[in-house]
Amino acid sequence: MAPERHFFSFGNGGALRYHSLPRARKRRAPVFFHDDTMTLSEIAAKQAEALSEISAAADSVAIEAARVKYLGRNGLLPALMKGLRDVPPAEKPAFGQALNALRGALSAALEERRAAAETSAAPKVSFDFSMPGSWRGTGAIHPVSEVIEETTRIFARLGFTVADGPDIETEFNNFDALNTAKHHPSRDARDTFWLGPELLLRTQTSPVQIRAMLAKKPPVRIINPGRCYRRDTTDATHAANFHQIEGLYVDVKPVSLADLKSTLAHFAREMMGQSVQVRFRPHFFPFTEPSVEVDFTCHVCKGRGCAVCKQSGWIEVMGAGIVDTRVFEKVGYDPECYGYAFGMGVERIAMIKHGVTDLRMLYGGDLRYLRQFL
């Protein structure tokens, strides 16, 4: 085999030297040190060496260093290209091809390595710190629950404790013990959801008071919030399922209508603000005598008269009265006991407080509406 001919100048690992001349003078062409030359097989060996160096480059800095070393302006390839000048014409195509192949191989290897380094350097989970955070939303207490809580707190400060009872009640607790006449229309199947001859869905929270009195001797001072059911067609002010809060105070010492009035006036001011006025109108309930209906001055017009209060200036809020002695008899209390009772619709209070004109909005579950109360 003929010895390979050396054509390419290659010295100092391809590093070029410049004469250090004042910048004003034209820079001289780079000078090669002809202390080494390259054969085709040496080019191939150099290519292999360069490729292994590139593939070993661990990060973008090392990759760039390899690029500068081999393909950079002062790197190996331009130096070899320059040497092409000295190659005899007959050999030129072979060397030209070898150099093109070298450039192609090195560029491809660098590119591939760069892409690989980028993917491995990319964090596993991309996280953009500048992105606005995701908002989970804050919950809020529903206006109906809020009224229950607030009312309970107000009466708790007056010494009332919370009593509870089941939604499914006996006819005795819901009607008989409350002195409701046998043929009172409220007992009718068109008004009450009957579950059997003796059982029903309670139409008011008053049966909790019966339960409390059956369980405990006076004094009794309870507040009982809860769900009630009536066979009402749902409209702006009625629902088949609604809430009441009732209160009961029974004692062996005199409890008067004046006590009831001052207690409810206090509640009104705590709930609606100091400027609210309270009005008591005579009424009838089977379980209280005398009975009253309690109105608050309209929250919208402050008593001047508007569409909400039907120009009356007043809004009916609850029923109340002095406990009828017949009720005491039914629960085995001494009829000489004294007591007052009151009961209010929770939705009604929530509507008054928040200016809600349609009760159905409270239960519609429409967040756009309920968010107003956040």
Name which position in 8, 32, 175, 285 contacts ligand PHE (CB under 6 A).
285
* Residue from 83, 303, 339, 343 in contact with ligand PHE (CB under 6 A): 343
| Nearest residue (CB) to ligand PHE, 280 versus 314 | 280
| Out of 50, 321, 328, 348, the residue judged to bind ligand PHE by CB under 6 A | 321
Q: Which stretch binds ligand PHE (CB under 6 A): 120-128, 300-308, 319-327, 351-359?
A: 319-327
d(CA 38, CA 82): 13
Indicate whether 218 belongs to the interface with ligand PHE (CB under 6 A): no
Q: What's the residue count for the chain?
A: 374
Q: Spell out a b/e string for 293-332, using b for 16 or more CB atoms within 10 Å of the CB, else e.
A: bbbbbbbbeebeeeebbeebbbbbbbbbbbbbbebbebbe
Distance, in Å, from the CA atom of 178 to the CA atom of 323, rounded to the nearest integer, reads 10
Q: Rule CB under 6 A: which of 56-85 touch ligand PHE?
A: none
Residue 189 φ/ψ region, left for φ over 0, alpha for ψ in the -120 to 50 degree band, beta for the rest: alpha
Site for ligand PHE contains 320 (CB under 6 A) = yes
| Smallest distance, ligand PHE to C-beta of residue 202, A | 10
Name the minimum Å distance from CB 229 to ligand PHE.
Answer: 12
The single residue among 165, 226, 303, 319 that binds ligand PHE, judged by CB under 6 A, is 319
- Helix (H) / strand (E) element for 209: namely helix 206-215
- Of 57, 341, 350, 359, the one binding ligand PHE (CB under 6 A) is 341
Site string for ligand PHE, 246-275 (x = CB under 6 A): x-----------------------------
Residue number, 79 or 178, with CB nearest to ligand PHE:
178
Contact 278, 295 (CB under 8 A): yes
Torsion, Cα 311 314 316 317, to 10 degrees, reads 140
Residue recorded with tokens 């029903």: 200
Q: Residues 156-195 vs ligand PHE: string with x where CB under 6 A?
A: ----------------------------------------
Binding part of the chain for ligand PHE, among 98-106, 215-223, 261-269, 336-344 by CB under 6 A, reads: 336-344
Helical (H) or strand (E) element with 76:
helix 76-83
Question: Could you give the angle at the alpha carbon of 181 between the alpha carbons of 321 and 192, nearest 5°?
Answer: 90
Cα–Cα distances (Å) from 230 to 117, 156, 242, in that order, read: 72, 28, 8
Nearer to ligand PHE, 99 or 322 (CB): 322
Q: Within 10 A of 372 (CB to CB), how many other CB atoms are there?
A: 12
Nearest to 351 by CA among 293, 277, 300, 279: 300
Nearest distance from residue 210's CB to ligand PHE, in Å? 11
Closer of 75 and 319 to ligand PHE (Cβ): 319
Residue nearest to ligand PHE (CB): 343
Among 170, 174, 206, 224, binds ligand PHE (CB under 6 A): 206
The site for ligand PHE (CB under 6 A) is made up of: 204, 206, 246, 285, 288, 319-321, 341-343
